[in-house]
Amino acid sequence: MDLPGVHRWQKYEGGDLRTQIVRAEVQVRVYNEISDIKRRFYTLILPAPKESILHFFMYCYPNISILNSYFTDFFLNSELNWDPSFTLIGAPPDIPFYAALIINTEIIMANWFLFQCRSQKKTPILTNLSWNLNSFRSIFKTFPKYNNAWFKWVK
């Protein structure tokens, strides 16, 4: 590999440029292998860390993927875009009341579903989440305030 403006015969401190690049690549490779060995060793001797709320809602892949899939479809006809931080902080404060009511209710129901799956030690599935939220939504629609907000959201 020749670099522009650098001739093969040019020498640098510690050897020519190509040698320095090869040394750096070897050092990185060795560091990565040592890190991998340490990681494997410590996972064998240390207990798994307890799951935090931040991990449960923001970094747990099954939860993130199911929430992203569901809420991306849910926000499809809205001018809002789904942000994973909504699961912790709720709907943005600058939206109308009816939209905040619907979004926060959906988030609470989805979080409840995830906690139920966790307590039963089951992997959350998108079809089960959708079915669960639809059944709860039908109950909430019996309340006039939620029903009016839902029809405004659907429009």
Arithmetic mean of pLDDT, 93-115: 93
Report the pLDDT value the prediction gives residue 127, as an integer from 0 to 100.
93
Answer yes or no: pTM beyond 0.85. Answer: no
- How far apart are alpha carbons 105 and 131 in whole angstroms? 15
User: 15-52: per-residue pLDDT in tens?
Assistant: 566 676 667 777 777 777 777 776 666 656 656 667 77
Residue 87's pLDDT band, with cuts at 50, 70 and 90, is confident
* Domain definitions of the chain by residue range: 11-45, 53-154
